[in-house]
Structure 1
Amino acid sequence: MSLLQIENLSVQFGAFRAVNNVSLTVNRGEILGIVGESGSGKSVSMLALMGLIDAPGVVTADALQFDGQDLLHARPAQKRKLIGKDVAMIFQDALSSLNPAFTIGAQLVETLKLHLGLSGAAARNRALELLELVEIPDARARLAAYPHQLSGGMSQRVMIAMAIACNPKLLIADEPTTALDVTVQAQIMDLLVSLQKQHDMGLILITHDLAVVAEVAQRVAVMYAGEVVETSPVPDIFSTPRHPYTQALLASIPEHSKGASRLATLPGVVPGQYDRPAGCLLSPRCPYVQPRCHTEHPPLQATPQGTARCFYALNDAGSPTHG
């Protein structure tokens, strides 16, 4: 049984459906990469799983199963026991996620007290242990520091420490290296993967960086305009992308444009609330578009490696299979 199973998750804000029928699974000890442009619904999908979508947002799903427990129909008290303890999330901007009015130590202790019932010296010792685990130098002194006294990389390490404080079974990392320099990015990713392996956690990695996905993930889900458009194991999605959008993402990697006068791009933008096509959401931008694509919305269909939301899924040669 999968550690996490999401079936047809949707998030609606008024008349706008920001996430539409997203289905994903994550196994224990597996790293799933979720990729796509800004505005594709990656973060909103995971915030909905965490119960962090506020009104007027409305979350619906056919199933939200975590470790055999039904999150969709769980009582608020049951969810509070799970979220933050067994399911934890590292948010995009560490500095805005940490409370500027409290020390790092106080915020770590609060997490430990809430979920593990630790207090006093036991909580402080565990907080120190966590900072050392995420390789923060002079960890004891950092317990008394405020968020504004830390660098971006240090703040991100504190967020990781808070997320793993209760040894979660599933960790969601939302763009964990955003706004960090390249050297620190590599250190943070190495740390995350090391902790994931040590604790056999499931890890959902939301990122724009396909190189990171290629290096650490086992499977990938590609999202576009609030929908999953392709899922596949990592080696296959790089060698034989089945969806035109996945192909365009891979073509946009600078290394693939060596010798060309311009980088490869996909014209147009992700459709918003008022310009959504009637058929395939990629149809205004797709180089392989057919008349059918403008009027019919394609379902997520099985491919040799996974799934793709395309009537004319690309073959091994990178062209439509029929049409």
Structure 2
Amino acid sequence: MTEPLLHIDHLSVVFGKGERAFRAVDQVSLSLQAQDVLAVVGESGSGKSVTMMALMGLLPSSANIHANSLRFNGQDLQAMSAKQKRQIIGKDISMIFQDAMSSLNPSFTIETQISEVLKTHLGLKGAAAHQRCIELLQLVEIPDAKNRLKAYPHQLSGGMSQRVMIAMALACEPKLLIADEPTTALDVTVQAQIMDLLRRLQQERHMAMILITHDLGLVAENAHEVAVMYAGQMVERSHVAKIFKRPAHPYTEALLAAIPELSIGQKRLHSLPGVVPSQYDRPQGCLLSPRCPYVHEACHQPVLLQNSPFGQVRCVYPDISAISTSQITGVSA
């Protein structure tokens, strides 16, 4: 079997030290083949973005990052110098950030910001860089590309700003594109346009893509596989069709139950009681146990990610659909 394009083995990210240390990402492992699309889903604070920021080297110095292995395209990222990493990050691995309006620098024109990427990674300057900027804006379907290059970010709509961010991410023809909530704060029509654009470009350019989202509708339409995260841990990973047909983890089941389109006829949307555990109230064993309707005595012991017929799942029950009422003790955390 060929080596995956991206391989992350037991990545952990801890902020702070001593008693104030907080494990934002806990032993997350991911692999991604070239040209595949992986969705990473979970509610806010589950560690989705922090995982990818750790890979990109964009976390502050207060973050303590450890992994057994971080490999990209056959290269060991942990063994590289900062200079060597800069030749990969932003070029072969690029990222679209959540809020385009705040990610673009308001003091510089669109051309200046795209040209900086081209100069840093490809050495393009002058007329060559200018022509490439026009081509990139045309690629992401921005009309009147030549004149738009002279615009400042505040002169663009949210959808146009997001297209500019996509153009910058694709400037160096990356092998892996990380899209972090690419449709946040956009209206429904523009969301569909942006996702159609990303899907088309991913297929045409044969890129691998990691889609970070909390919208399972986007996952169903755009991803091949999905990894579900909760409180910094990966709790399930499987093919998209399997996840939607038969979720193996109670948290995945709850996420699916909360989709409005799947709740037609019900009086209210399904929700889990309680909140995601914070730094100071993390339970022993399964982190979902205080909120889980299937909680059992065994759930209060450490639970590891394990292989099951449905993919990988971090649960003492590898198939929650097979649990009988008699198996559930109802023990609270």
TM-score of the two chains, using structure 1 as the length reference = 0.97
Secondary structure, aligned partner of 1:130: helix
Other-structure match for 2:298: 292
**Is the Cα contact below 8 Å between 1:314 and 1:321 reproduced in 2?**
no
Q: Give 1:236's aligned residue.
A: 242
Q: Contact conserved, 1:63 with 1:72, CA < 8 A, in 2?
A: yes
Q: CA RMSD in A?
A: 1.3
Deviation at 1:322, TM superposition (A): 6.3
Alpha-carbon displacement from aligned partner over 1:254-306 (angstroms, at most 9, x marks no partner) = 12222111111111111110111011100000000001212x12000101131
Q: Is 1:166 paired with 2:172?
A: yes
Q: Deviations over 1:165-224 (max 9, x none)?
A: 000000000000000000000000000011101111000000111011011100000000
Shift of 1:30: 0.4
Residues of 2 paired with 1:318 and 1:84: CA distance? 46
Is the counterpart of residue 314 in structure 1 residue 304 in structure 2?
no
Equivalent in the alignment of 1:142: 148
**Partner residue of 2:12?**
10
Q: 1:319 offset after TM fit, Å?
A: 6.1
In structure 2, what is the Cα distance between the partners aligned to 1:74 and 1:318? 47
Are 1:269 and 2:275 counterparts? yes
For 2:119 and 2:67, how far apart are their aligned partners in 1? 32
Separation of aligned partners in 1, 2:137 and 2:270:
42
Query: C-alpha displacement at 1:320, in angstroms?
Result: 8.8
Corresponding pairs, count: 322
Preserved CA contact (<8 Å) 1:241 1:318: no
* Deviations, residues 141-176 of structure 1 (Å, cap 9, x unaligned): 110000011000000000000000000000000000
* Secondary structure in 1 matching 2:281: coil
**Alpha-carbon offset, residue 136 of structure 1:** 0.5
Return the alpha-carbon distance in structure 2 between the equivalents of residues 122 and 320 of structure 1.
68
- Which residue in 1 is equivalent to 2:263? 257
Residue 128 (structure 2) aligns with: 122
Which residue number corresponds to residue 309 of structure 2?
304
For 2:148 and 2:31, locate their aligned partners in 1 and report how far apart those are by CA, in whole Å.
37
Q: Could you tell me which amino acid in structure 2 is paired with residue 254 of structure 1?
A: P
Q: Which residue of 1 aligns with 2:203?
A: 197
Q: SS state of the match for residue 48, structure 1? A: helix
Q: 1:281 to 1:84 in 2, by over 3 A?
A: same
Q: Offset of 1:55 from its aligned partner?
A: 1.9
Q: Structure 1 residues 288, 203: closer, same or farther in 2, change over 3 A?
A: same
Q: How does 1:22-101 map to 2 (within 5 A)?
A: 22-101=28-107
Q: In 2, Cα distance between the equivalents of 1:230 and 1:126?
A: 41
Gaps of 5+ in 2: 329-333
Q: Distance in 2 between matches of 1:190 and 1:255?
A: 21
> Which residue identity lines up with residue 5 of structure 2 in the other structure?
L
Higher mean alpha-carbon deviation, 58-67 vs 256-265, is at 256-265
Change (3 A) 1:171 1:4: same
Distance 1:320 1:202, change over 3 A: farther
TM-score (norm 2): 0.94
User: What SS does structure 2 have at the residue aligned with 1:72?
Assistant: helix
Q: Is the 8 A contact 1:315 1:321 kept in 2?
A: no
* Structure 1 outlier segments of 4+, above 4 Å: 315-323
Change (3 A) 1:186 1:272: same
Report Cα offsets for 1:80-136 as digits up to 9, x if no partner. 000000000000000111111100000111100100000000000000000000000
Q: Quick one: distance in 1 between partners of 2:261 and 2:131?
A: 47
List per-residue Cα deviations over 1:20-64 (Å, max 9, x = no partner): 000001111100000001000000000000000112111110000
8 A Cα contact 1:242 1:318, kept in partner: no
- 1:222/1:230 contact within 8 Å kept: yes
Identity %: 65
